[in-house]
Amino acid sequence: MKDQDVELAVLPWGATEAHNYHLPFSTDNILVQTIANESAAAAWEKGAKVLVLPAVPFGVNTGQLDIRLNININPSTQLAILNDVADVLNRHKIYKFLILNGHGGNDFRQIIRELGFRYPKMFICGCNWFQSFSNAEFFENSGGHADEMETSIMQFLVPELLLPLNEAGSGKGKKFRIKAFNENWAWAERKWTQVTTDTGIGDPSKATPEKGERCYNEIIRKTSSLMLELSLADVNNMYE
Ligand SMILES: [Zn+2]
């Protein structure tokens, strides 16, 4: 490591939270760290100088404070952590920084704006791996939490950590009565235990490891090419 050039640092960020009854609380951390590691390895093979940091295991879970052992950290804490990590990278002249997010409650965009204000030499960006593909291309049921997608990928990667699907709840999620919130132009946090009884949103019953493998490979293809492009990019010439 001491002689290795690093162009890009990647910080995976997950959450510790209930995932229906069949997936472990660490689901988001397992997925985001595995995706970060494997994407970086694939990008490295193609010439990317990329470093993967250990995943931050706690995310924003402010809508789930009444769920036992869901560990919430606030957005202001995330800013404090990211500020300290960016400060270290900046001191060591690693100016490209990607936050690889694996949890829907984490939203780093405004934090990235503020970090850019504090560290003008750095190019700081984020991505959500779970938005890097079209759900309908791989899965029958959509969802968003402990759904067919997440279950399938976990079945592929770490089958030993899952309970059998017949122990899972149906993952039925309620919608807001106010339509605008369902149209994605108005937003309010959902009170999770009022939306779902088993903490899942999305029916996991059609999940298979084969579906998970196909989707996982697509995710790695997308995130590794992002890492490669970032590593090779000239941050003073980003637009065409
Ligand atoms: Zn999850």
Residues with pLDDT less than 50, the chain: none
154-171 pLDDT, tens digit each: 999 999 999 999 999 999
Distance from Cα 28 to the centre of ligand 1, integer Å: 5
How far apart are the CA of 29 and the centre of ligand 1, in A? Answer: 8
Measured in Å, residue 180 CA sits from the centre of ligand 1 at 25
- Residue 1, pLDDT score: 63
Q: Supply the pLDDT for residue 68.
A: 92
DSSP string, 118-139: H-TT-EEEEEEGGGSS-HHHH-
Q: How far is the CA of 45 from the centre of ligand 1 (A)?
A: 29
Cα-to-centroid distance, 67 and ligand 1 (Å): 15
Question: In the 8-state DSSP scheme, what is residue 238?
Answer: -
Q: Cα of 178 to ligand 1 centre, how many Å? A: 26
Task: Count CB neighbours of 74 within 10 A.
Answer: 11
Query: How many angstroms does the Cα of residue 44 sit away from the middle of ligand 1?
Result: 27
